[in-house]
Structure 1
Amino acid sequence: MFAAPASVDVIGQLTRYLDLAGVLACAILGGAVARTERLDLFGFLVVGIVSGLGGGIIRDTLLQHGTPVALTDYAYVPTAVLGAVIAFVISISEHAWNRLFVALDAAVIGFWAVSGSQKTLAAGLGWLPAVLLGITTAVGGGAVRDVLLRRVPTVFGGNGLYATVAAVAAGTMVVCSYAGTPVIGVVLGVVCALILRLASVLFGWGLPTGLDWQPHSRLTALMQRRKRRRGAGRPDPPDDS
């Protein structure tokens, strides 16, 4: 239904490498955020590790398919530490950091959305949990990082498309897996994430924010009229109710 038995090991290894690539990239992104907050080395390490491993740990915990891989595969924590150290050691201009941040951000979304959805399918769950956990894997670490630093999580808006890109990448992986071509799904998912995320930043695409809507009623109209009169320095008319 998904992959041929001969390709299961290949897909598993490819997913692991994508997961580790996401850990490294997101740890570097966490280090970039730590730099803007003027944290020390320990702060870099904590923010980098949380940013790099948070999404995967949330995914594996929700799957309830054994201990989170970040705690059983000894490549994960050193990879996150490496990313944080890279961000700590390399000091470049703010403009260059911003450009690197966008590129790495797009890569992280693709890597983790694809690996998260593939791991969910491999655990025997359906297409909807695969898409949801693909999104969670892609945005979870960044959300935890932002909450830790008392920032509004990036996924909640104010930037280019983010969770939407993860949904497209995860959906692409799911469709290709059901079609029996998971390797193509990996490539297409990552490419779609890169193109869509970079385009959203370049052209300013984003989801709509809350509509400026107010309920219309007699009481609301009366309160607004009184507010305007007070602003103009005129006394309120007698209430005829």
Structure 2
Amino acid sequence: MNEYLELTLDLIGTFVFALTGALVAVRNRLDIFGTLVLACATGLGGGMVRDVLLGDVPPAGLTDWRYLLAATLAGVATFYWHRLVARWENIILTLDAAGLALFCVTGAVLASEAGLGIVPSALLGMISGIGGGMIRDILANRVPVVLEAGTGWYAVPALAGAALAAIGNQYEWPTVLVLVPGMVVCFGWRVVAMRRGWAPMPARGL
């Protein structure tokens, strides 16, 4: 994948995820420092986990100032204009789905280019997509969204999108065919699940 395209997709995903983290912080009445911590953890967490697992250390989130800037801008904007941002929550949730699609696909492609097979690449792509949100929810002392039964599908669309990207990259398809189908599947599945209230079936009590 083109290096410039990879960076652009990563920065967009980082900013969008950081917005969701900052919103959670503001709603928990954290101060500006706490908001920035949660925004950065959410925006950078998935990518950093991905880089560490691939042995690309130190992670780009720590060595490239643009990642930290994207997350910081999202945190500051949400803290000072949180009422305006909150009005756009539906839009932000849609953007979160877009961020999920971006991260799961780029994570899978990077894993595939590092020499991993289709299955581990797909799994790493999924982790890239859901990692930041899980860190956010743990820091906010709540059950991670990805583990809740009533919040709609999250990890499964990420895994599906990552799998398509991993397959495409493995068979050396053109860049567009590697990136677009996985993003469309992940984003579309996640948005439809949110709109229709789909949820995995919860475990029955014994």
TM range (shorter): over 0.9
Q: RMSD of aligned C-alpha atoms?
A: 1.7
- Answer yes or no: is the 8 Å Cα contact 2:25–2:34 preserved in 1: yes
Q: Return the offset for 1:187.
A: 1.7
Q: Return the offset for 1:95.
A: 6.6
Map 1:48-197 → 2, pairs under 5 A: 48-92=39-83, 96-157=87-148, 158-179=150-171, 180-197=173-190
CA distance in 2 between counterparts of 1:115 and 1:16 reads: 10
1:32 pairs, out of 23, 29, 34, with 23
CA distance in 1 between counterparts of 2:192 and 2:38 reads: 28
Normalised to the residue count of structure 2, the TM-score between the two structures is: 0.92
> If you compute each CA radius of gyration, which structure gives the higher value, 1 or 2?
1
Aligned identity (percent) is 35
- Answer yes or no: is the 8 Å Cα contact 2:23–2:86 preserved in 1: no
CA distance in 2 between counterparts of 1:81 and 1:201 reads: 27
CA distance in 1 between counterparts of 2:185 and 2:81 reads: 29
Q: Which letter does structure 1 place at the counterpart of 2:152?
A: G
For structure 1, list consecutive stretches of 5 or more residues without a partner in the other structure. Answer: 1-7, 215-241
Q: Return the offset for 1:178.
A: 2.8
For structure 2, list consecutive stretches of 5 or more residues without a partner in the other structure. Answer: none
Normalised to the residue count of structure 1, the TM-score between the two structures is: 0.79
CA distance in 2 between counterparts of 1:132 and 1:37 reads: 32
Q: How many residues in Structure 1 have an aligned counterpart in Structure 2?
A: 204
- Answer yes or no: is the 8 Å Cα contact 2:78–2:85 preserved in 1: no
Q: Alpha-carbon deviations, 1:190-232, whole Å to 9, x = none?
A: 22222111100111112111123x3xxxxxxxxxxxxxxxxxx
CA distance in 1 between counterparts of 2:38 and 2:196 reads: 30
